Structure 1
Amino acid sequence: MAEAAIGGSAEKTSHEEVGLRFEVDGEIATITLDRPERRNAQTFATWSELARIGDSLPQQVRIVVVRGEGPSFSAGIDLRLFTPEGIPGQDSLATLATAEDPTFEQRIAHAQRGFLWLRRPDIVSIAAVNGHAIGAGFQLALACDLRVLAEDAKLCMKELALGLVPDLTGTKPLVDLVGLPRAIEICLTARAVGAREAAAIGLAELVVAPEDLAEAVRDLAAALLATDRGAATATKRLLQGAGGRTLEEQSAAERREQVARVRALFAGS
Protein backbone atom coordinates (compact mmCIF):
# COMPACT_ATOMS: atom_id res chain seq x y z
CA MET A 1 0.00 0.00 0.00
CA ALA A 2 1.51 3.33 -1.07
CA GLU A 3 0.37 6.76 -0.06
CA ALA A 4 1.66 10.28 -0.41
CA ALA A 5 3.56 11.55 2.58
CA ILE A 6 2.02 14.47 4.38
CA GLY A 7 3.67 17.66 3.24
CA GLY A 8 5.77 16.02 0.53
CA SER A 9 5.95 13.67 -2.41
CA ALA A 10 7.49 10.70 -0.62
CA GLU A 11 5.87 7.30 -1.08
CA LYS A 12 5.44 5.17 2.03
CA THR A 13 4.81 1.49 2.52
CA SER A 14 3.98 0.04 5.93
CA HIS A 15 3.83 -3.63 6.89
CA GLU A 16 2.94 -3.67 10.55
CA GLU A 17 2.98 -7.45 10.78
CA VAL A 18 6.72 -7.51 10.00
CA GLY A 19 7.60 -4.24 11.68
CA LEU A 20 9.08 -2.40 8.70
CA ARG A 21 8.37 0.98 7.15
CA PHE A 22 9.57 1.79 3.65
CA GLU A 23 9.63 5.33 2.27
CA VAL A 24 10.88 6.72 -1.02
CA ASP A 25 11.57 10.42 -1.40
CA GLY A 26 13.09 11.11 -4.79
CA GLU A 27 16.45 9.33 -5.01
CA ILE A 28 16.54 8.36 -1.32
CA ALA A 29 14.76 5.33 0.14
CA THR A 30 14.49 4.76 3.89
CA ILE A 31 13.88 1.40 5.54
CA THR A 32 12.86 1.73 9.18
CA LEU A 33 12.82 -1.24 11.53
CA ASP A 34 9.64 -0.39 13.39
CA ARG A 35 9.13 -2.66 16.38
CA PRO A 36 10.49 -0.41 19.14
CA GLU A 37 8.55 -2.33 21.79
CA ARG A 38 10.79 -5.31 20.94
CA ARG A 39 13.85 -3.19 20.17
CA ASN A 40 13.33 -3.92 16.48
CA ALA A 41 13.96 -7.65 16.82
CA GLN A 42 13.93 -9.47 13.49
CA THR A 43 12.02 -12.51 12.23
CA PHE A 44 11.71 -14.60 9.07
CA ALA A 45 8.96 -12.19 8.02
CA THR A 46 11.32 -9.24 8.47
CA TRP A 47 13.94 -10.84 6.22
CA SER A 48 11.35 -11.81 3.62
CA GLU A 49 10.09 -8.23 3.49
CA LEU A 50 13.63 -6.87 3.18
CA ALA A 51 14.14 -9.17 0.19
CA ARG A 52 10.86 -7.99 -1.33
CA ILE A 53 11.91 -4.36 -0.96
CA GLY A 54 15.17 -5.12 -2.74
CA ASP A 55 13.34 -6.88 -5.57
CA SER A 56 10.95 -3.96 -6.10
CA LEU A 57 13.22 -0.99 -5.34
CA PRO A 58 12.20 1.93 -7.58
CA GLN A 59 14.70 2.55 -10.35
CA GLN A 60 15.34 6.18 -9.41
CA VAL A 61 16.64 5.27 -5.94
CA ARG A 62 20.37 5.86 -5.45
CA ILE A 63 20.63 5.94 -1.66
CA VAL A 64 19.09 3.46 0.79
CA VAL A 65 19.11 4.39 4.47
CA VAL A 66 18.45 1.67 7.04
CA ARG A 67 17.50 2.86 10.52
CA GLY A 68 15.70 1.72 13.66
CA GLU A 69 12.74 3.31 15.39
CA GLY A 70 13.20 4.03 19.08
CA PRO A 71 16.27 3.59 21.29
CA SER A 72 17.83 0.66 19.38
CA PHE A 73 18.80 -0.07 15.80
CA SER A 74 17.98 -3.77 16.25
CA ALA A 75 18.40 -6.17 19.16
CA GLY A 76 18.79 -9.07 16.71
CA ILE A 77 16.65 -12.14 16.22
CA ASP A 78 13.28 -12.27 17.96
CA LEU A 79 13.89 -14.82 20.72
CA ARG A 80 10.36 -16.16 20.33
CA LEU A 81 11.70 -18.01 17.28
CA PHE A 82 13.55 -20.29 19.71
CA THR A 83 10.34 -21.39 21.44
CA PRO A 84 8.14 -24.28 20.25
CA GLU A 85 5.25 -21.82 19.90
CA GLY A 86 7.31 -19.46 17.75
CA ILE A 87 5.63 -16.38 16.30
CA PRO A 88 2.06 -16.57 15.01
CA GLY A 89 2.11 -17.25 11.28
CA GLN A 90 5.82 -18.11 11.19
CA ASP A 91 7.80 -21.30 11.75
CA SER A 92 10.01 -21.44 14.79
CA LEU A 93 13.66 -22.49 14.72
CA ALA A 94 12.74 -25.22 17.20
CA THR A 95 10.15 -26.62 14.78
CA LEU A 96 12.46 -26.44 11.78
CA ALA A 97 15.22 -28.19 13.70
CA THR A 98 13.16 -31.02 15.19
CA ALA A 99 11.29 -31.65 11.96
CA GLU A 100 14.56 -31.96 10.03
CA ASP A 101 12.94 -29.78 7.39
CA PRO A 102 14.82 -30.28 4.08
CA THR A 103 14.04 -26.69 3.13
CA PHE A 104 15.72 -25.21 6.22
CA GLU A 105 18.87 -24.20 4.35
CA GLN A 106 16.76 -22.66 1.59
CA ARG A 107 14.90 -20.66 4.24
CA ILE A 108 18.22 -19.24 5.42
CA ALA A 109 19.21 -18.48 1.82
CA HIS A 110 15.97 -16.54 1.38
CA ALA A 111 16.66 -14.60 4.58
CA GLN A 112 20.13 -13.75 3.27
CA ARG A 113 18.57 -12.23 0.14
CA GLY A 114 17.16 -9.50 2.35
CA PHE A 115 20.73 -8.43 3.16
CA LEU A 116 22.65 -9.13 -0.06
CA TRP A 117 20.85 -6.60 -2.28
CA LEU A 118 22.06 -3.70 -0.11
CA ARG A 119 25.48 -4.14 -1.75
CA ARG A 120 24.23 -3.58 -5.32
CA PRO A 121 26.59 -1.34 -7.33
CA ASP A 122 23.80 1.00 -8.48
CA ILE A 123 22.93 2.11 -4.93
CA VAL A 124 24.80 3.20 -1.82
CA SER A 125 23.35 1.86 1.43
CA ILE A 126 23.84 3.64 4.76
CA ALA A 127 23.13 2.16 8.18
CA ALA A 128 22.12 4.82 10.70
CA VAL A 129 22.88 3.00 13.95
CA ASN A 130 21.73 4.12 17.38
CA GLY A 131 21.68 2.07 20.54
CA HIS A 132 22.08 -1.67 20.22
CA ALA A 133 22.90 -3.45 16.95
CA ILE A 134 23.03 -7.04 18.14
CA GLY A 135 23.38 -10.23 16.09
CA ALA A 136 21.10 -9.85 13.09
CA GLY A 137 21.10 -6.11 13.78
CA PHE A 138 24.90 -5.98 13.57
CA GLN A 139 24.80 -8.04 10.38
CA LEU A 140 22.21 -5.70 8.85
CA ALA A 141 24.54 -2.78 9.56
CA LEU A 142 27.42 -4.75 8.03
CA ALA A 143 25.32 -5.41 4.92
CA CYS A 144 25.30 -1.68 4.22
CA ASP A 145 28.11 0.08 2.38
CA LEU A 146 28.53 2.75 5.05
CA ARG A 147 27.76 3.00 8.74
CA VAL A 148 27.04 6.22 10.66
CA LEU A 149 26.93 5.54 14.40
CA ALA A 150 25.46 7.50 17.26
CA GLU A 151 27.78 7.74 20.25
CA ASP A 152 25.51 5.36 22.17
CA ALA A 153 25.76 2.60 19.55
CA LYS A 154 26.91 -0.85 20.64
CA LEU A 155 27.67 -3.56 18.09
CA CYS A 156 27.73 -7.22 19.08
CA MET A 157 27.84 -10.53 17.20
CA LYS A 158 25.73 -12.35 19.76
CA GLU A 159 25.01 -15.52 17.79
CA LEU A 160 27.77 -17.56 19.43
CA ALA A 161 26.37 -16.85 22.89
CA LEU A 162 23.16 -18.53 21.66
CA GLY A 163 25.03 -21.52 20.23
CA LEU A 164 24.61 -20.27 16.65
CA VAL A 165 26.83 -18.87 13.91
CA PRO A 166 26.33 -15.54 12.09
CA ASP A 167 24.47 -16.52 8.91
CA LEU A 168 23.00 -13.28 7.54
CA THR A 169 25.99 -12.41 5.33
CA GLY A 170 27.89 -10.59 8.09
CA THR A 171 31.09 -12.61 8.40
CA LYS A 172 32.77 -11.57 5.14
CA PRO A 173 32.27 -7.79 5.51
CA LEU A 174 33.40 -8.03 9.12
CA VAL A 175 36.66 -9.73 8.09
CA ASP A 176 37.08 -7.31 5.17
CA LEU A 177 36.68 -4.32 7.47
CA VAL A 178 38.64 -5.30 10.57
CA GLY A 179 40.83 -8.22 9.51
CA LEU A 180 40.66 -11.88 10.50
CA PRO A 181 42.18 -11.73 14.01
CA ARG A 182 39.93 -8.89 15.18
CA ALA A 183 36.87 -10.53 13.59
CA ILE A 184 37.64 -13.77 15.45
CA GLU A 185 37.99 -11.86 18.72
CA ILE A 186 34.75 -9.91 18.23
CA CYS A 187 32.70 -12.95 17.24
CA LEU A 188 34.09 -15.58 19.58
CA THR A 189 33.87 -13.36 22.66
CA ALA A 190 30.42 -12.02 21.67
CA ARG A 191 31.42 -8.75 23.30
CA ALA A 192 29.99 -5.33 22.59
CA VAL A 193 31.97 -2.87 20.47
CA GLY A 194 31.26 0.77 21.31
CA ALA A 195 30.92 3.49 18.71
CA ARG A 196 34.36 5.04 19.22
CA GLU A 197 36.11 1.69 19.02
CA ALA A 198 34.03 0.82 15.95
CA ALA A 199 35.29 3.94 14.20
CA ALA A 200 38.89 3.24 15.23
CA ILE A 201 38.90 -0.29 13.79
CA GLY A 202 37.03 0.53 10.58
CA LEU A 203 33.47 -0.49 11.41
CA ALA A 204 32.08 3.04 11.14
CA GLU A 205 32.69 5.95 8.80
CA LEU A 206 31.31 8.54 11.20
CA VAL A 207 30.33 8.82 14.88
CA VAL A 208 28.02 11.62 16.00
CA ALA A 209 25.90 12.62 18.96
CA PRO A 210 22.57 10.74 19.00
CA GLU A 211 20.63 13.91 18.32
CA ASP A 212 22.77 14.57 15.22
CA LEU A 213 22.41 11.14 13.63
CA ALA A 214 19.59 11.95 11.21
CA GLU A 215 21.25 15.17 10.03
CA ALA A 216 24.61 13.45 9.55
CA VAL A 217 22.99 10.77 7.40
CA ARG A 218 21.16 13.42 5.34
CA ASP A 219 24.42 15.30 4.76
CA LEU A 220 26.21 12.13 3.70
CA ALA A 221 23.40 11.21 1.33
CA ALA A 222 23.49 14.68 -0.22
CA ALA A 223 27.25 14.41 -0.79
CA LEU A 224 26.83 11.00 -2.43
CA LEU A 225 24.06 12.28 -4.68
CA ALA A 226 26.28 15.14 -5.90
CA THR A 227 28.26 12.75 -8.12
CA ASP A 228 27.24 11.27 -11.47
CA ARG A 229 25.21 8.08 -11.03
CA GLY A 230 26.82 6.16 -13.88
CA ALA A 231 30.31 7.01 -12.68
CA ALA A 232 29.38 6.19 -9.07
CA THR A 233 27.97 2.79 -10.05
CA ALA A 234 31.04 1.94 -12.14
CA THR A 235 33.42 3.07 -9.39
CA LYS A 236 31.61 1.07 -6.70
CA ARG A 237 31.76 -1.97 -8.97
CA LEU A 238 35.51 -1.46 -9.38
CA LEU A 239 36.06 -1.06 -5.64
CA GLN A 240 33.98 -4.12 -4.80
CA GLY A 241 36.01 -6.29 -7.14
CA ALA A 242 39.43 -4.91 -6.23
CA GLY A 243 40.07 -7.28 -3.33
CA GLY A 244 39.81 -10.34 -5.54
CA ARG A 245 42.00 -9.05 -8.38
CA THR A 246 45.68 -8.60 -8.98
CA LEU A 247 46.95 -5.11 -9.80
CA GLU A 248 47.08 -6.02 -13.47
CA GLU A 249 43.53 -7.38 -13.41
CA GLN A 250 42.27 -4.29 -11.59
CA SER A 251 44.02 -2.03 -14.11
CA ALA A 252 42.29 -3.89 -16.92
CA ALA A 253 38.94 -3.53 -15.15
CA GLU A 254 39.54 0.21 -14.80
CA ARG A 255 40.24 0.46 -18.52
CA ARG A 256 37.03 -1.35 -19.42
CA GLU A 257 34.93 0.78 -17.10
CA GLN A 258 36.50 4.00 -18.37
CA VAL A 259 35.95 3.11 -22.01
CA ALA A 260 32.30 2.41 -21.22
CA ARG A 261 31.94 5.69 -19.30
CA VAL A 262 33.52 7.85 -22.01
CA ARG A 263 31.39 6.22 -24.68
CA ALA A 264 28.29 6.78 -22.57
CA LEU A 265 29.16 10.43 -22.01
CA PHE A 266 29.66 11.13 -25.70
CA ALA A 267 26.91 8.91 -27.07
CA GLY A 268 24.70 10.91 -29.37
CA SER A 269 26.89 14.01 -29.23
Structure 2
Amino acid sequence: MTLLDKDGVRLTVDDTVATVTLTNPAKRNAQSPAVWRALAEAGKLVPGTVRVVVLRAEGKSFSAGLDRQAFTPEGFDGEPSFRDLARGSDSELDATIAEYQQAFTWWRRNDIVSVAAVQGHAIGAGFQLALACDLRICADDAQFAMRETSLGLVPDLTGTHPLVGLVGYARALEICATGRFVHAEEAERTGLANLVVPAAELDGAVQDLAAALLAAPRDAVIETKALLRGAVDRTYEEQRAAERAAQARRLRDLVGLAD
Protein backbone atom coordinates (compact mmCIF):
# COMPACT_ATOMS: atom_id res chain seq x y z
CA MET A 1 0.00 0.00 0.00
CA THR A 2 1.38 3.38 -1.03
CA LEU A 3 0.71 6.17 1.47
CA LEU A 4 2.91 8.89 -0.03
CA ASP A 5 4.57 9.53 -3.37
CA LYS A 6 5.76 13.10 -3.85
CA ASP A 7 8.87 15.24 -4.26
CA GLY A 8 11.19 12.29 -4.71
CA VAL A 9 9.95 10.32 -1.69
CA ARG A 10 7.66 7.28 -1.64
CA LEU A 11 6.23 5.56 1.44
CA THR A 12 4.79 2.07 1.15
CA VAL A 13 3.54 -0.25 3.89
CA ASP A 14 3.38 -4.03 3.85
CA ASP A 15 1.91 -5.26 7.13
CA THR A 16 4.47 -4.44 9.86
CA VAL A 17 7.20 -3.17 7.52
CA ALA A 18 7.23 0.31 5.97
CA THR A 19 9.60 1.30 3.18
CA VAL A 20 10.65 4.86 2.46
CA THR A 21 12.26 5.16 -0.96
CA LEU A 22 14.17 8.06 -2.46
CA THR A 23 12.90 8.15 -6.04
CA ASN A 24 15.01 10.64 -7.99
CA PRO A 25 17.90 8.57 -9.38
CA ALA A 26 18.42 11.01 -12.26
CA LYS A 27 19.74 13.50 -9.68
CA ARG A 28 21.36 10.75 -7.59
CA ASN A 29 18.61 11.39 -5.02
CA ALA A 30 19.94 14.84 -4.21
CA GLN A 31 18.04 16.50 -1.39
CA SER A 32 16.13 19.76 -1.08
CA PRO A 33 13.69 21.34 1.38
CA ALA A 34 10.84 19.72 -0.56
CA VAL A 35 12.46 16.30 -0.07
CA TRP A 36 12.90 17.02 3.63
CA ARG A 37 9.26 18.00 4.03
CA ALA A 38 8.20 14.81 2.26
CA LEU A 39 10.46 12.72 4.52
CA ALA A 40 9.00 14.40 7.61
CA GLU A 41 5.49 13.78 6.29
CA ALA A 42 6.34 10.12 5.72
CA GLY A 43 7.26 9.82 9.37
CA LYS A 44 3.87 11.16 10.39
CA LEU A 45 2.06 8.75 8.05
CA VAL A 46 3.76 5.54 9.24
CA PRO A 47 0.95 3.49 10.84
CA GLY A 48 1.22 2.46 14.47
CA THR A 49 1.23 -1.19 13.43
CA VAL A 50 4.61 -0.80 11.69
CA ARG A 51 7.62 -2.20 13.55
CA VAL A 52 10.42 -1.87 10.98
CA VAL A 53 11.04 1.03 8.59
CA VAL A 54 13.44 0.48 5.70
CA LEU A 55 15.04 3.47 4.00
CA ARG A 56 16.27 2.77 0.49
CA ALA A 57 17.02 4.63 -2.73
CA GLU A 58 16.53 4.01 -6.42
CA GLY A 59 19.49 4.08 -8.79
CA LYS A 60 23.22 3.82 -8.27
CA SER A 61 23.51 6.31 -5.40
CA PHE A 62 21.79 6.41 -2.03
CA SER A 63 21.95 10.21 -1.98
CA ALA A 64 24.52 12.64 -3.36
CA GLY A 65 23.59 15.13 -0.65
CA LEU A 66 22.17 18.61 -0.93
CA ASP A 67 21.02 19.56 -4.44
CA ARG A 68 23.62 21.96 -5.86
CA GLN A 69 20.83 24.35 -6.81
CA ALA A 70 20.85 25.34 -3.13
CA PHE A 71 24.17 27.07 -3.71
CA THR A 72 22.92 29.29 -6.53
CA PRO A 73 21.89 32.89 -5.73
CA GLU A 74 18.23 32.13 -6.38
CA GLY A 75 18.16 28.74 -4.61
CA PHE A 76 15.00 26.65 -5.06
CA ASP A 77 11.76 28.11 -6.36
CA GLY A 78 9.56 29.17 -3.46
CA GLU A 79 12.27 28.48 -0.88
CA PRO A 80 14.57 30.89 0.96
CA SER A 81 18.04 30.94 -0.59
CA PHE A 82 21.16 30.66 1.55
CA ARG A 83 21.48 34.43 1.21
CA ASP A 84 17.89 34.90 2.43
CA LEU A 85 18.53 32.60 5.37
CA ALA A 86 21.70 34.44 6.35
CA ARG A 87 19.88 37.77 6.28
CA GLY A 88 17.12 36.54 8.60
CA SER A 89 17.06 36.92 12.35
CA ASP A 90 18.67 34.34 14.61
CA SER A 91 15.26 32.97 15.59
CA GLU A 92 14.11 32.72 11.97
CA LEU A 93 17.28 30.94 10.90
CA ASP A 94 17.07 28.58 13.85
CA ALA A 95 13.41 27.77 13.11
CA THR A 96 14.14 27.06 9.44
CA ILE A 97 16.99 24.66 10.19
CA ALA A 98 14.88 22.99 12.90
CA GLU A 99 12.17 22.41 10.29
CA TYR A 100 14.69 20.82 7.94
CA GLN A 101 15.95 18.58 10.76
CA GLN A 102 12.49 17.05 11.25
CA ALA A 103 13.14 14.85 8.21
CA PHE A 104 16.03 13.27 10.11
CA THR A 105 14.67 12.91 13.64
CA TRP A 106 11.77 10.46 13.57
CA TRP A 107 13.78 7.43 12.47
CA ARG A 108 14.99 6.72 16.02
CA ARG A 109 11.55 6.59 17.64
CA ASN A 110 11.38 3.78 20.17
CA ASP A 111 8.33 2.15 18.57
CA ILE A 112 10.18 1.33 15.33
CA VAL A 113 13.57 0.03 14.23
CA SER A 114 14.84 1.83 11.14
CA VAL A 115 17.26 0.30 8.65
CA ALA A 116 19.09 2.23 5.92
CA ALA A 117 20.01 0.24 2.81
CA VAL A 118 22.93 2.16 1.33
CA GLN A 119 24.47 1.75 -2.10
CA GLY A 120 26.85 4.00 -3.98
CA HIS A 121 27.36 7.53 -2.70
CA ALA A 122 25.96 8.81 0.61
CA ILE A 123 27.36 12.31 0.78
CA GLY A 124 26.62 15.17 3.15
CA ALA A 125 22.89 15.18 3.77
CA GLY A 126 22.84 11.64 2.33
CA PHE A 127 25.38 10.51 4.92
CA GLN A 128 23.35 12.20 7.66
CA LEU A 129 20.14 10.54 6.47
CA ALA A 130 21.79 7.13 6.71
CA LEU A 131 23.06 8.07 10.19
CA ALA A 132 19.51 9.02 11.19
CA CYS A 133 18.53 5.35 11.06
CA ASP A 134 19.16 2.84 13.82
CA LEU A 135 20.99 0.37 11.57
CA ARG A 136 22.81 0.48 8.24
CA ILE A 137 23.32 -2.31 5.73
CA CYS A 138 25.64 -1.32 2.91
CA ALA A 139 26.44 -2.59 -0.54
CA ASP A 140 30.14 -3.14 -1.10
CA ASP A 141 30.23 -0.08 -3.37
CA ALA A 142 28.96 2.28 -0.65
CA GLN A 143 30.95 5.47 -0.08
CA PHE A 144 30.21 7.91 2.75
CA ALA A 145 31.52 11.48 2.93
CA MET A 146 30.71 14.52 5.05
CA ARG A 147 31.52 17.40 2.70
CA GLU A 148 29.90 20.28 4.57
CA THR A 149 33.14 21.71 5.98
CA SER A 150 34.68 21.92 2.51
CA LEU A 151 31.77 24.21 1.61
CA GLY A 152 32.33 26.38 4.66
CA LEU A 153 29.38 24.82 6.48
CA VAL A 154 28.84 22.26 9.25
CA PRO A 155 26.78 19.05 9.32
CA ASP A 156 23.49 20.35 10.75
CA LEU A 157 20.97 17.64 9.87
CA THR A 158 21.41 15.65 13.11
CA GLY A 159 24.37 13.59 11.86
CA THR A 160 27.05 14.66 14.34
CA HIS A 161 25.61 12.94 17.42
CA PRO A 162 25.22 9.46 15.91
CA LEU A 163 28.53 9.75 14.06
CA VAL A 164 30.47 10.42 17.27
CA GLY A 165 28.53 7.65 19.01
CA LEU A 166 29.43 5.15 16.31
CA VAL A 167 33.09 5.93 15.57
CA GLY A 168 34.25 8.16 18.44
CA TYR A 169 35.19 11.84 18.57
CA ALA A 170 38.63 11.68 16.94
CA ARG A 171 37.58 9.67 13.90
CA ALA A 172 34.36 11.68 13.52
CA LEU A 173 36.36 14.92 13.53
CA GLU A 174 38.80 13.57 10.96
CA ILE A 175 35.97 12.35 8.68
CA CYS A 176 34.11 15.67 8.87
CA ALA A 177 37.11 18.01 8.72
CA THR A 178 38.75 16.29 5.74
CA GLY A 179 35.57 15.38 3.85
CA ARG A 180 37.23 12.18 2.69
CA PHE A 181 35.37 9.09 1.52
CA VAL A 182 34.72 6.25 3.93
CA HIS A 183 34.36 3.11 1.85
CA ALA A 184 32.22 0.13 2.75
CA GLU A 185 35.01 -1.97 4.27
CA GLU A 186 36.05 0.82 6.63
CA ALA A 187 32.41 1.59 7.43
CA GLU A 188 31.88 -1.98 8.61
CA ARG A 189 35.18 -2.09 10.49
CA THR A 190 34.53 1.14 12.38
CA GLY A 191 30.87 0.48 13.18
CA LEU A 192 29.24 2.81 10.67
CA ALA A 193 27.78 -0.20 8.88
CA ASN A 194 26.25 -3.19 10.61
CA LEU A 195 26.82 -5.35 7.55
CA VAL A 196 28.35 -5.06 4.07
CA VAL A 197 27.14 -7.30 1.26
CA PRO A 198 27.56 -7.46 -2.52
CA ALA A 199 25.32 -4.90 -4.21
CA ALA A 200 23.14 -7.60 -5.76
CA GLU A 201 22.40 -8.99 -2.29
CA LEU A 202 21.48 -5.70 -0.59
CA ASP A 203 17.70 -6.06 -0.80
CA GLY A 204 17.81 -9.65 0.39
CA ALA A 205 20.03 -8.79 3.34
CA VAL A 206 17.65 -6.03 4.39
CA GLN A 207 14.70 -8.41 4.17
CA ASP A 208 16.54 -10.97 6.30
CA LEU A 209 17.34 -8.34 8.94
CA ALA A 210 13.75 -7.11 8.98
CA ALA A 211 12.52 -10.66 9.52
CA ALA A 212 14.97 -11.15 12.39
CA LEU A 213 13.86 -7.88 14.01
CA LEU A 214 10.22 -8.93 13.75
CA ALA A 215 10.86 -12.30 15.39
CA ALA A 216 11.05 -10.87 18.92
CA PRO A 217 7.96 -9.56 20.74
CA ARG A 218 7.38 -5.89 19.91
CA ASP A 219 7.24 -4.57 23.47
CA ALA A 220 10.52 -6.27 24.36
CA VAL A 221 12.24 -4.62 21.39
CA ILE A 222 10.76 -1.22 22.29
CA GLU A 223 11.96 -1.48 25.89
CA THR A 224 15.41 -2.68 24.81
CA LYS A 225 15.80 0.13 22.27
CA ALA A 226 14.81 2.70 24.89
CA LEU A 227 17.34 1.25 27.34
CA LEU A 228 20.17 1.35 24.83
CA ARG A 229 19.37 4.84 23.58
CA GLY A 230 19.27 6.21 27.08
CA ALA A 231 22.45 4.49 28.25
CA VAL A 232 24.73 7.23 26.90
CA ASP A 233 23.17 9.86 29.13
CA ARG A 234 22.89 7.74 32.29
CA THR A 235 25.43 6.78 34.90
CA TYR A 236 26.11 3.11 35.48
CA GLU A 237 23.85 3.09 38.53
CA GLU A 238 21.10 4.97 36.69
CA GLN A 239 21.26 2.43 33.87
CA ARG A 240 21.00 -0.43 36.37
CA ALA A 241 17.85 1.17 37.77
CA ALA A 242 16.43 1.70 34.28
CA GLU A 243 17.04 -1.97 33.48
CA ARG A 244 15.22 -3.04 36.65
CA ALA A 245 12.24 -0.82 35.89
CA ALA A 246 12.02 -2.03 32.29
CA GLN A 247 12.25 -5.67 33.33
CA ALA A 248 9.56 -5.17 35.95
CA ARG A 249 7.25 -3.81 33.25
CA ARG A 250 7.99 -6.75 30.98
CA LEU A 251 7.44 -9.34 33.72
CA ARG A 252 4.14 -7.81 34.80
CA ASP A 253 3.00 -7.61 31.21
CA LEU A 254 3.92 -11.23 30.52
CA VAL A 255 1.94 -12.54 33.48
CA GLY A 256 -0.98 -10.19 32.90
CA LEU A 257 -0.37 -7.86 35.84
CA ALA A 258 0.39 -4.68 33.92
CA ASP A 259 -1.22 -1.49 35.25
**Alignment partner of 1:225 out of 214, 226, 232:** 214
**Alignment partner of 1:74 out of 58, 63, 69:** 63
Q: Which residue of 1 aligns with 2:239?
A: 250
Pair 1:110-2:110 in alignment: no
RMSD: 1.4
Structure 2 unpaired stretches of 5+: none
The AA in structure 2 aligned to 1:63 is V
Q: How many residues align?
A: 258
1:89-112 deviation line (CA, Å, top 9, x unaligned): 322223322455751211110111
Q: Which residue of 2 aligns with 1:146?
A: 135
Q: Which residue of 2 aligns with 1:14?
A: 5
**Alignment partner of 1:95 out of 76, 81, 84:** 84
Measure, in 2, the Cα distance between the counterparts of 1:141 and 1:30: 14
Q: Work out the percentage of aligned pairs sharing the same amino acid.
A: 55
Measure, in 1, the Cα distance between the counterparts of 2:84 and 2:26: 25
1:94-137 deviation line (CA, Å, top 9, x unaligned): 33224557512111101111111101111000010000000000
Pair 1:207-2:192 in alignment: no
1:29-54 deviation line (CA, Å, top 9, x unaligned): 11111111111011111111211222
**Alignment partner of 1:186 out of 153, 170, 175:** 175
Contact 1:82 1:94 in 2 (8 A): no
Measure, in 2, the Cα distance between the counterparts of 1:192 and 1:60: 38
The AA in structure 2 aligned to 1:114 is A
Q: Which residue of 2 aligns with 1:84?
A: 73
Contact 2:3 2:45 in 1 (8 A): no
Measure, in 2, the Cα distance between the counterparts of 1:160 and 1:136: 12
The AA in structure 2 aligned to 1:188 is A
User: For 1:152-167, what aligned pairs fall within 5 Å after superposition?
Assistant: 152-167=141-156
Q: Which residue of 2 aligns with 1:259?
A: 248
Give the TM-score normalised by the residue count of structure 2.
0.96
Residue 76 of structure 1 aligns to a residue whose secondary structure is: coil
Structure 1 unpaired stretches of 5+: 1-9
Measure, in 2, the Cα distance between the counterparts of 1:60 and 1:182: 38
Q: Which residue of 1 aligns with 2:114?
A: 125
Q: Which residue of 2 aligns with 1:6?
A: none
Q: Which residue of 2 aligns with 1:135?
A: 124
**Alignment partner of 2:46 out of 52, 57, 63:** 57
Contact 2:2 2:10 in 1 (8 A): no
Tell me: CA distance 1:45–1:244, structure 2 relative to 1, closer, same or farther (3 Å): same
Residue 80 of structure 2 aligns to a residue whose secondary structure is: coil
Contact 2:8 2:23 in 1 (8 A): yes
Superposition deviation, residue 55 in structure 1: 2.1
Measure, in 1, the Cα distance between the counterparts of 2:8 and 2:76: 13
Superposition deviation, residue 204 in structure 1: 0.3
Residue 110 of structure 1 aligns to a residue whose secondary structure is: helix
Contact 1:127 1:141 in 2 (8 A): yes
Residue 13 of structure 2 aligns to a residue whose secondary structure is: strand
Measure, in 1, the Cα distance between the counterparts of 2:71 and 2:147: 15
Measure, in 1, the Cα distance between the counterparts of 2:245 and 2:91: 43
Superposition deviation, residue 154 in structure 1: 0.2
Q: Which residue of 2 aligns with 1:27?
A: 16
Q: Which residue of 2 aligns with 1:173?
A: 162
